[in-house]
Structure formats: C-alpha cells, structure tokens
Amino acid sequence: MLDPDLLKTFVTLSEQRSFTRTAAQLNRTQSAVSMQVKRLEELLGTALFARTTSQVALTPSGEALLGYAHRILALNDEAVGRIRQHQNEGQVRLGIMDDYGTSIAPPLLASFGQRYPRIHVSMETGLTAKMTERLGEDFDLVIAMHPKGQGGGDFLRQEQAVWAAAPDHVVDAEAPLSVALYPSGCLFREWAMAALDKARRPWRLAFVSHSSAAVEAVVAQGLAVSVFKSGTFPRGLRALSKEDGMPRLPQAGIRLHRASALTEAGALLASHLIAGIRRDAGAANTR
C-alpha cells in the first residue's frame, strides 16, 4: 500500500529538488524527509531519486511514479472534501423575489441539496425590500432587487425592467392603459407608475397581486400590461417598447444580503447561489 503521507513527501521533493527546502515546506526535519523517502524506496524496491552534491533529481522510476502520486493525492483530497461536505449541517432561511423563487432558485437549491444533504433550506418569496429589514431575525440570506448601483451586498446580476403584454394585445394610445402590478413597496410598481405619469400616459391600476404567476396570467389574457425582469421574462408574453407608446424603464441590480451572524451553512448556500446566478447571467448574455 502506498502511504499518501510518503507520496506527499515524494511529490514535494520532486518539485523542490532539495531536502532542505522540502523539510521547510513540510515543516519537518531533513532526517525525517530522508527517512520517508527511504521507506518509499524500500517499499517499491527501487531508487526514486539520484542524489548529487548540488541537487536531487528523479530517476526513471521516480518519473514513472510521479504521475500516479499526483493522481492518488488528488483522489485523496477529493474523497476527504466530499465526506466533509456531507458532514455540514444546519438550517438556512432564504428570502427571495417571487419570480426568482419559481424559476432561478429551484435548480440551484436542488444542486445544493445534493452536495449538502444535511443542510435544510427554507425559502419565502415576496417583496424583498422589507425582507432585508428582517435579516438575522427571520432570514439568514435575502436576494433582493435595487436600483442599479445601489443596495450593498453581493452583486449577482443586472436586470432590465420590461413592459409586457399578451402576444395579440394592441396598446390603445387613446384609452387609459390597464396595468397589473405588485403591491406597494415593489420597485417595479414605483417605476411603472412614475414612468407613465412622466409620459402623461393615462392609466388605471386594474390588478394587484404578490404573485408573479397571477400577474402573468392576467396579462396573458389581454386584460392588462405589466412589468417583468428581462432575465425572467415570461415566454408567452410580448415585450413592449417605445414603438408601442410605452416609456422606457430603468435597470435594476440583483444583490444577495447576509445576516451579520451567518452560520457556516448559510455561508455555503450564499457561495452556491452567487456562483449559480452569476453563471446563469453570463450564459444568458452569450445567447
């Protein structure tokens, strides 16, 4: 059996080509390094290093062993890391926007659960502006939307606010515009109202809901227009622009906020969400 500790010394010596430097790097004495090399050579029945007064060089047998040693040590590290991952446990409370909670988060939470089966995540969707005020009390992590360049936390991706209507819906420039929006406190609600008022476009609030799915359903029936994020824009709807008489809306930044006293389980989930959402945003930009 090849002892990983002996292989680690062997690999380090093959890189350093010096017993002195190897001993310093491994925090051992030179005699201990020499003894480990000798044990490995006795085990394999061959010399692994050719020693001269100026340096230490690999023999042909040493060169043959080196690739195997790297692979064995890498597999050892992978096994230890995987077992330690499965030992992590805890509870993480996540607050997130409704549309992200139904489209972006589920696959990321599924992959996180496979990697850390003993960490349990509870998720609440809704208006995240108020959730950030409850960090530490009710939430460990909150993914929230802010005006571009504001909000603090970890930046995840940028979103364009986009007007939406049913595919066959024709916006009547003369009639008051029926709008389906989210409750007070939603950034898109504020932006939509302010943009319509600035453009002096007559409108009426026809439908209000916390649920993005409910708003989408109303819009899909041609009963109203609404505002969605570019990254989660419903496939069955049509994006409206200035050609449809709609005023342009601002861009938003999606950011992750952490409780001040975050557990290791919470930090692991935060890192997983940051990597996944940024990767998804990058893939979307290349499509």
So what's the pLDDT on residue 282?
61
So what's the pLDDT on residue 83?
72
**Can you give the C-alpha Rg of the chain in angstroms?**
29
So what's the pLDDT on residue 251?
93
So what's the pLDDT on residue 85?
64
Of all helices (H) and strands (E), which one includes residue 6? helix 4-16
So what's the pLDDT on residue 170?
85
Long-range contacts of 72-79 (CB under 8 A, 24+ apart): 72/2, 72/4, 72/7, 73/4, 73/7, 73/8, 73/11, 76/4
So what's the pLDDT on residue 87?
64
So what's the pLDDT on residue 286?
40
For the chain, which ranges sit under pLDDT 70?
Answer: 84-87, 281-287
Q: How far is CA 157 from each of CA 132, 144, 182, 258, rounded to the nearest angstrom?
A: 18, 11, 22, 17
- Note the pTM of the prediction, 2 decimals: 0.67
